[in-house]
Structure 1
Amino acid sequence: MVGLFQNLLETYEKCSEAVGIVQVDADGNANEKKTLLPIGHMTFKSQICVTIDEDGVFVRASRDNKETTIIAPCTEISAGRSSGIAAHSLCDQLDYVGDINEGKIAAYLSQLNSWKGNIPELNAIYTYVSGKTMMDDLLNSRIFKESEYQTKTDEHGESQLDKEKIRKLGVRFIVQMTDNMVKVWESTELRNAWIDNMSSNSTFNEEAFDYLSGEVVHQVAAQHPKNINSLTGNAKLLSCNDTSGFTFRGRFAKQNDAVIVDYIQSQKMHQMLRWLIANYGYAADSQVIVTWGVDRDTEVKAKVQDNSLDFFENMEEVKTKADILSGTKGGIYADYADKLKNLLQGFGNAKDIKQHFCKICIAVFDAATTGRMGLVFYQELPKNTYLENIVNWHSDTSYFLTAWKKERDEHGKDKNTPIHYIGAPSFDDIVFAVYGKSHGDKSYEILKKNTRKQLLECMFGNFAFPKNMVEMAANRASNPMGFMDLNGKFSENDWKRALSITCALTRKFYKQQKEEIPLELDTDRTNRDYLFGRLLSVADKLESAALYKADKQNTRPTNATKLMSAFRVKPHSTWGILYDQLIPYRNQLNGAGYYQSLIDNILVLFEEGDYEDNSPLSPLYLLGYAAQNRAFLKNNNNEKTEGTDNGYITE
């Protein structure tokens, strides 16, 4: 874990020029949540803006329609406050700056007084808040809602403000100076003044070094920041201030015996991690995966979770969607796994790879409880190793896949266009193939998190691809009738998607067993599972051809599709049943000579005793099934026939 902390500190230093610069989204809106925060600062939700002059006299107040997130200075204690009294350093809730709670307003004024010095803006705010007129000023400005007043009235018949409802409203200040208006939450000078004040107030007199950076400690961090991951706001990565529980008690007498972390170093590390998660986090429930480069440019375009098409698009900087669509329509599959190899080897436009980072970090965080966040996976790799691992994954796990990209038609309307490519599925695709779609239940999210972690371990931790994952995906793909749409009808598209992804996983599994399964049909392969898969495909296409000839295509699933689940469990006996069911369809196709000849050719490839073996099939049979389907499709595209005596069908 020390390596993680050191890399975060190094990244923060290299990105120092970006500290405090508010990020702007595509629509031009400021997004403070994705801003790299200065040390000693936090994001703060404010809804009330109070404007005063340089003498601390009230000018006006306004209220936003919704909460505005700003960057505000804070103390170590106030950043993690949940109860008790702990004032922020400048902008705070009405509870602290309004005359509601005497103890809290006194704490705020004391905190502001400790660093305001001769700074005119801070002195103006101090003077105004000390006057304790804010509540009257806000009431006269009529910024409170009707729902924030009590139903009962006072002796004059007027409704009283319900202070319990408004005390947590955040307040920010604008100071109207002689020559300009200072929005204190945006002032670089005030941010630097607060940082200087923190750095000069060293409270640690012992001679010790920081456990994260190895530098001399100036101020020990007694509380570490929370809200590192917005999905688990209260979870802390480091916690050492528990004097009543068992964070360090039982092993050490006091906190500093357990760990010593400098406050400034803790701030840098946590601010950097928070920024990385906000900008690059790939989240599922409480788990987040983040990948970054230890460099000024932290973005890693080669995302671990992407499918091959998205991976290549990010790396190659494709200018338009038409560039991707080119050469991939009409059933033609562009081999993006091969394109990625060429990129790594320096062919084509490999500028991004050549200028990549020296070191790349991959970290997975999860929160086991509401207050504790843990590091569950971490790797740091040189740039070449990182890219080679990903490209090897995309090569070994490649198969014929289809993605959908949004385009605009000639009328300017959005339409989805299928993109056929050879490559690896994304993490989300794999979760779909293994577990199906989410129905909002917690157990699904747990399975999803475990799967993503396993896939990362396979990519970068030299772990074998889990056999149980392949088996589960194969079980789902072998049950086509379990894929239903919202209307309760058979969803062929979802099933075909799951089948293709399962074939990709199966190829990966066999590749690590030192057995290469070709993408295209292997007519010489004599493996029992592969051959039974081919037989199932022939039966399916034979019936489909007959239905096409009778103008009944797409009216119902074929018998091969319906019996697929039973076929995997008892292939020999189920094939006998299925073969008998093909009799009327063979008659419709005048004997279906092409298909019957193909069945005979497959049967002679079985080794002695394999055909009669009625034991369950391995996932390899799906590769035989899909490869035979692929061969039919290629023949159909080449011949352009219409499903007559030879049995081909037009799709």
Structure 2
Amino acid sequence: MGWIQNLCSVYDQNLDAIEAEAKSLLPVGFIEQVAHIEVRIEHSRFISARVLSKTESLTRIPCTIESSSRSGKSPAPHPLFDKLKYIAKDLDQVSDENSSYTNYRKFLEAWCSSDFAYSLVQELFTYLEEGTLAHDLIKEGLLITDDQGKLMKKWNLKENKPLIFQMVTGTQEDAFVRFVVNGVALWKDPELVESFTGFYQKQLQEEGRLDLDLITGEQMPVTMRIPSKVRNSADMSKLISSNDSQGFTYRGRFSNPEESMSMGYESSQKAINALKWLISKQGRIFGEAVFVSWGSKTISLLNYNESADLFDLGGELPDARFDTYEDFSRALNKAMAGYLSKPMVADEEVMTLGLEAATPGRLSIIYYQQTSSSQLFANVLRWHETISWYKTAFKTQGETGKKIPYQTMGSPSINKIVSTLYGEPVNPKLLASSAKRLIKCIQEGQPLPRDFMLKAVTKATNPYGKNTDEYNRVLEVCCAVIRKFYIDEARIKGREENLPVRIDKECQDISYLCGRALAVMHYIEERTKPDGNGKYETNAMRYMGQFVRYPQSTLMNLQAKLQPYLLRLSTNYYENQLTDILSQINPEKFEDAPLTGKFVLGYHAQLHDLKFGYQGKDKRED
């Protein structure tokens, strides 16, 4: 089953979610639009009007095939609610812009005279035919005119800016209007939905648009236009379109676009409306891309969440303290087991769709994956297990509201990984492409690409210009990425590599040992520094980049510079620890060759143990 069929199935399974509230599942033939003005009509007479605030402006409106994706020089009007330049018959009297009321009137008149006519729409049509809407809004003080009685194009003063100019992007003629008739908010009225749907479906049949719908295999009205506003109410990109008759979209293979794709109007509406609903409900934006996942039986099975990154793993994970990796692993397994129990079936199918606008008018599918819930959760569990590392979290102090940092374990989010490796602000296209690659690692269990690891090593070994806290947060993310890469690399080669989060005193890897040694040297110098403001740059930090490239010669230089600081210590604990680490380095294999990413793991694991470890704390006190 393809993505369109899956979305149609989601729509049919969730008809009870069709509501008049914003971001709910929309009926067939309806879209959401930001309205600026609300007009109240009683028995075909104007009563009042008001400018809407942003929080209440999102409005469900009926649309036609042409108006749902309108663009170009002569855009089609919507059937009922629309911009002032479409619905105000008297606009020509107060504006230099030509009114499009004649085109708007054709559909509304046909609707009101059909077997599906709705009394409230008929009353509204009677009012609009009187041609007083623009003048009524001017009298109400909502529309602003100049000395010649024409609508002002813009407000030139900085003070006392009218609400209409604050809300509308463009001119006053672009103000979008919705109506309340006889106390009924038409955009929320279920009877209006039934009336419009019945009339428009019959009209499409009478126009001879019946053909084979390749989505369902049934005969029904077809269309080559798919609604826009997929990602949000301002999104004009479309997933499928065929207006490029002069290019090479279908020329050379088909004589007309209908030969390449015959798509039912109702099916396409269901698919796009379901996709909009899922994105608003549980989608996640990464730069210019949006990703959304849903289950075939339980659509709310998956939710994007910043703390757990791809999936919400339960309330206890984000704020919990994990003193050991084992604690974190147990909590993670518990959270994943809870998800597996929700659908109650092992073969629950999970779909993930990624969208990105290739151009302002074209929306492309950059990722689509179908997998079983059991396999998906196994991949997600492995991701979090292999990319977890030390993590600085914050809790809010009840009395003062101050955020208090504490150390735990966890996995960094996609946004955190990309912003740490590439710096902020992140280019939206870079974030979108990086998210696509990382989601493949998370959902499909693919190994982490090498370039992420190399970037993490470069970032971690260049501490210049960062204070202690900033650099520590960079190290946390970089270590998580590096650890993930080496575990994946070992798995590809058919072996298991544990790479524990806590310091591995049994590891004889030269890069890891050099990282541990540099961490001890940094800690000794930092502990004996003259000032305590955290801004002192130690020799270990200053020479880190050089040490990674030329470890043998740089180590000798660092040891010489460390002597004055060793004399200030009142204990031999740290010196003995440094000696113990250096004694494990095989001199026959130690040379001026660049160290691997395991250097960063050893450095941060050792430094974390020195700062937050408790074993033997009484022995190391000065």
Cα offset, 1:432, TM superposition: 2.8
Choose the corresponding residue for 1:457, options 432, 440, 447: 440
How do residues 381-392 of structure 1 correspond to structure 2 at under 5 angstroms? 381-392=371-382
> Secondary structure, in 3 states, of the residue corresponding to 1:363?
strand
Judging changes above 3 Å, is the alpha-carbon distance between structure 1 residues 253 and 350 closer, same or farther for their aligned structure 2 residues?
Answer: closer
In 2, Cα distance between equivalents of 1:353 and 1:394: 21
Tell me the residue number matched to 2:163. none
Structure 1 residues 359 and 397 mapped into 2: Cα distance closer, same or farther (>3 Å)? same
Correspondence 1:327-366 to 2 at 5 A? 335-345=327-337, 352=342, 354=344, 358-366=348-356
Which residue of 347, 369, 394 corresponds with 1:379? 369
- What is the identity, as a one-letter code, of the residue corresponding to 1:298? S
- CA shift, 1:589, in A, is 2.1
> Matched residue of 1:414: which SS?
coil
Distance 1:188 1:51 in 2: 19
Please name the residue that 2:519 is paired with.
Answer: 537
Change (3 A) 1:232 1:338: farther
Q: Distance in 1 between matches of 2:321 and 2:287?
A: 38
Counterpart among 450, 467, 479 of residue 467 in structure 1: 450
- d(CA) in 2 for partners of 1:566 and 1:452? 32
Residues 582, 60 of structure 1: alpha-carbon distance in 2 compared, 3 angstrom cutoff: closer
Which one of the candidate residues 543, 546, 568 is aligned to 1:588? 568
Q: 1:595 to 1:240 in 2, by over 3 A?
A: same
Q: Which amino acid aligns with 1:521?
A: I
Assess if the C-alpha contact under 8 Å between 1:112 and 1:126 holds in 2. yes
Q: TM-score, normalised by structure 1?
A: 0.83
Q: Which runs of 5+ in 2 are unaligned?
A: 93-97, 154-169, 491-496
Deviation track 1:112-169 (CA, whole Å, cap 9, x = no partner) reads 1222234211211221212222223333333223xxx23x53xxxxx43348932221
Pair 224,388 (structure 1): closer, same or farther in 2 beyond 3 Å: same
- In the alignment, what sits opposite 1:71? 60
Matches within 5 A, 1:148-159: 149-150=145-146, 152-153=147-148, 159=149
The answer to whether the 8 A contact 2:223-2:265 is kept is yes
Which AA in structure 1 matches 2:538? T
Cα distance change of structure 1 residues 585 and 263 upon mapping to structure 2, 3 Å threshold? same
Distance of aligned partners of 1:8 and 1:357 in 2 relative to their CA distance in 1, 3 Å threshold: farther
- The structure 1 residue matched to 2:106, chosen from 110, 121, 125, is 110
Counterpart for residue 31 of structure 2:
42
Match of 1:25 in 2: none
* Aligned 8 A contact 2:213 2:264 in 1: yes
Q: Is the 8 A contact 2:356 2:365 kept in 1?
A: yes
The answer to whether residue 482 in structure 2 is matched with residue 506 in structure 1 is yes
- Structure 2 distance, partners of 1:422, 1:291, is 26
Q: Say yes or no: does 1:617 pair with 2:595.
A: yes
- Spell out, residue by residue over 1:618-651, the C-alpha distance to the aligned partner (whole angstroms, 9 max, x if none): 111111112222332455565246742xxxxxxx
Report the Cα offset of residue 73 of structure 1.
0.6
The residue matched to 1:49 in structure 2 has which SS?
strand
Is the CA contact 1:94–1:167 (under 8 Å) kept in the aligned structure 2?
Answer: yes
Tell me the C-alpha RMSD between the 2 structures. Answer: 2.8
Q: Which residue of 2 aligns with 1:280?
A: 282
1:492 corresponds, among 440, 455, 468, to 468
SS state at 1:503 partner: helix
Asked if 2 retains the 8 angstrom alpha-carbon contact of 1:93 and 1:170, the reply is yes
**2:194 is matched with which residue?**
192
Matches within 5 A, 1:139-218: 139-145=138-144, 149-150=145-146, 152-153=147-148, 159-162=149-152, 165-176=171-182, 181-201=183-203, 202=205, 208-212=211-215, 214-218=216-220
**Aligned-partner residue type, residue 142 of structure 1:** G
Deviates more, 1:61-70 or 1:13-22: 61-70
Letter in 2 for 1:501: V
The alpha carbon displacement at 1:324 in A equals 6.7
- Measured in 1, the distance between the counterparts of 2:53 and 2:516 equals 63
> Residues 619 and 324 of structure 1: is their aligned pair in 2 closer, same or farther, counting only changes over 3 Å?
closer
Give me the identity figure in percent: 27
Q: Which amino acid aligns with 1:77?
A: E
Within a 5 Å distance, the mapping from 1:303-318 to structure 2 comes to 303=304, 306-308=306-308, 314-318=312-316
**1:219 equivalent in structure 2:** 221
Describe the SS at the equivalent of 2:122.
helix
Q: What SS does the corresponding residue of 1:160 show, helix, strand or coil? A: coil
Equivalent runs, 1:222-241 vs 2, <5 Å: 222-230=224-232, 233-241=235-243
Alpha-carbon offset, residue 211 of structure 1: 2.3
SS of the residue 2:171 aligns to: helix
Q: How many residues align?
A: 588
Change (3 A) 1:520 1:59: closer
Counterpart CA distance in 1 for 2:319 and 2:228 is 45
- Tell me which residue corresponds to 1:647: none
Whether contact under 8 Å (1:232, 1:286) holds in the other structure is no
Match of 2:59, SS? strand
Secondary structure in 2 matching 1:35 = coil
Distance, in Å, in 2 between the alignment partners of 1:424 and 1:556 is 30
1-structure distance, mates of 2:353, 2:111: 38
With normalisation by structure 2, the TM-score equals 0.87
Q: What residue identity is the alignment partner of 1:371?
A: G
Inter-partner Cα distance in structure 2 for 1:311 and 1:415: 28
* Distance change in 2, residues 1:45/1:586 (3 Å): closer
Preserved CA contact (<8 Å) 1:203 1:219: no
Q: Give the unaligned 5+ runs of structure 1.
A: 23-31, 154-158, 484-490, 645-651
SS at 1:335's partner residue? helix
Distance 1:12 1:48 in 2: 31
Q: What is the CA distance between 1:557 and its match in structure 2?
A: 2.2
Cα offset for 1:551? 6.4
